Amino acid sequence: MKKCILFMLIMLLLICGCADKRSYEYYTQEITYSESAVQYGFRVDMACTETKYARYYFEQTVDEAERTLCIEATDKILEKQTALGFLPEIYIFTEERYPDTSVFENKLYTSVQDWQTVEFTTKVLLTAYGAYSHYGLAYGYANVICDEQITDSAFRMPVSTDVCDLNLLCFDTAFASDSDIATAKSIACDFVQAYIAANGESAMQELLSDSKTSNGARSVRDALADYYKDNGLDYVPSDLRYGYGGHSFDYIVSADLGVFYIKKDWVDMHAEYNPLITDGFLHSDYAETKAFFETNLKQMKQYQDLFALDTYDNDLSIVFENTTLPQTSFYQSNIHTIYLKNVDSLMHEYIHALTQPEYPMTLWEAEGFARYFSYYYDLYGIAFLNQDYNNSADTPELKYIHEYLATINRPIDMAKDFMELENIAVYSRSLTDPNKSYATGSSFVQYLVKQYGEEAVINSIYGNGDPLPKSYAELVKEWNEFIEDNYSNYSKYK
- Backbone angles phi and psi of 154, in degrees to 5: -85, -5
Query: How many Cβ atoms sit within 10 Å of the Cβ of residue 473?
Result: 8
**Residue range at the interface with Zn ion (CB under 5 A); choices 59-67, 109-117, 272-280, 359-367:** 359-367
Radius of gyration over every alpha carbon of the chain, rounded to an integer in angstroms: 29
- Compute the least distance from the CB of residue 440 to Zn ion, in Å: 14
Between 370 and 439, CB nearer to Zn ion: 370
Q: What is the Cα–Cα distance from 352 to 348, expressed in whole angstroms? A: 7
Between 370 and 456, CB nearer to Zn ion: 370
CA distances from residue 202 to 11, 75, 179, 197, 298 in whole angstroms, order as listed: 39, 18, 31, 11, 34
Please tell me what DSSP assigns to residue 465. P
Helix 118-129, helix 64-78: angle, nearest 10: 60
Between 283 and 371, CB nearer to Zn ion: 371
Between 24 and 376, CB nearer to Zn ion: 376
- Residues 163-192, one symbol each (x = binds Zn ion by CB under 5 A, - = not), give ------------------------------
In sequence order, what are the residues at sequence separation of 6 or more whose Cβ sits closer than 8 angstroms to the Cβ of residue 362?
Answer: 434, 435
Q: What is the Cα–Cα distance from 434 to 431, expressed in whole angstroms? A: 8
Between 190 and 422, CB nearer to Zn ion: 422
Burial code (b: 16+ CB inside 10 Å, e: under 16) for 213-227 equals: bbebbebbbebbbeb
Size of residue set near Zn ion by CB under 5 A: 2
Q: Are 334 and 327 a contacting pair, CB within 8 Å? A: no
- Compute the least distance from the CB of residue 462 to Zn ion, in Å: 14
Between 188 and 370, CB nearer to Zn ion: 370
Between 169 and 351, CB nearer to Zn ion: 351
Between 89 and 367, CB nearer to Zn ion: 367
Pairing of strands 337-340, 317-320: parallel
- Compute the least distance from the CB of residue 370 to Zn ion, in Å: 5
- Compute the least distance from the CB of residue 375 to Zn ion, in Å: 13
**Residue range at the interface with Zn ion (CB under 5 A); choices 6-14, 70-78, 238-246, 360-368:** 360-368
- Compute the least distance from the CB of residue 425 to Zn ion, in Å: 17
- Backbone angles phi and psi of 451, in degrees to 5: -80, -40
Q: Which of 132, 43, 167 is nearest to 93 (CA)?
A: 43
Between 227 and 369, CB nearer to Zn ion: 369
Q: In what order do the strands lie in the sheet with 317-320?
A: 241-244, 249-255, 258-263, 317-320, 337-340, 330-332
- Residues 433-452, one symbol each (x = binds Zn ion by CB under 5 A, - = not), give --------------------
Q: What is the Cα–Cα distance from 293 to 174, expressed in whole angstroms? A: 17
**Residue range at the interface with Zn ion (CB under 5 A); choices 83-91, 181-189, 196-204, 363-371:** 363-371
Three-state DSSP class for residue 387 = helix
In sequence order, what are the residues at sequence separation of 6 or more whose Cβ sits closer than 8 angstroms to the Cβ of residue 9?
Answer: none
Between 235 and 377, CB nearer to Zn ion: 377
**Residue range at the interface with Zn ion (CB under 5 A); choices 60-68, 106-114, 170-178, 361-369:** 361-369
Beta strands in 379-493 (DSSP E): none
Q: Are 194 and 137 a contacting pair, CB within 8 Å? A: no
Q: What is the Cα–Cα distance from 463 to 359, expressed in whole angstroms? A: 13
Between 183 and 345, CB nearer to Zn ion: 345
Three-state DSSP class for residue 402 = helix
- Compute the least distance from the CB of residue 374 to Zn ion, in Å: 9
Is the Cα torsion angle 121, 122, 124, 128 positive or negative in sign?
positive
Q: Which residues between 197 and 256 bind Zn ion (CB under 5 A)?
A: none
- Compute the least distance from the CB of residue 37 to Zn ion, in Å: 20
- Compute the least distance from the CB of residue 352 to Zn ion, in Å: 5
Q: Which of 118, 164, 145 is nearest to 205 (CA)?
A: 145
- Compute the least distance from the CB of residue 436 to Zn ion, in Å: 15
- Compute the least distance from the CB of residue 412 to Zn ion, in Å: 22
**Residue range at the interface with Zn ion (CB under 5 A); choices 44-52, 227-235, 259-267, 370-378:** 370-378
- Compute the least distance from the CB of residue 148 to Zn ion, in Å: 52
Between 124 and 461, CB nearer to Zn ion: 461
**Residue range at the interface with Zn ion (CB under 5 A); choices 113-121, 198-206, 367-375, 455-463:** 367-375
- Compute the least distance from the CB of residue 386 to Zn ion, in Å: 20
- Compute the least distance from the CB of residue 314 to Zn ion, in Å: 20
**Residue range at the interface with Zn ion (CB under 5 A); choices 92-100, 284-292, 366-374, 375-383:** 366-374
Between 192 and 458, CB nearer to Zn ion: 458
Is 263 exposed, middle or buried, given 0-12, 13-18 or 19+ CB atoms closer than 10 A?
buried
Q: Which residues between 107 and 136 bind Zn ion (CB under 5 A)?
A: none
Interaction site with Zn ion (CB under 5 A): 367, 370
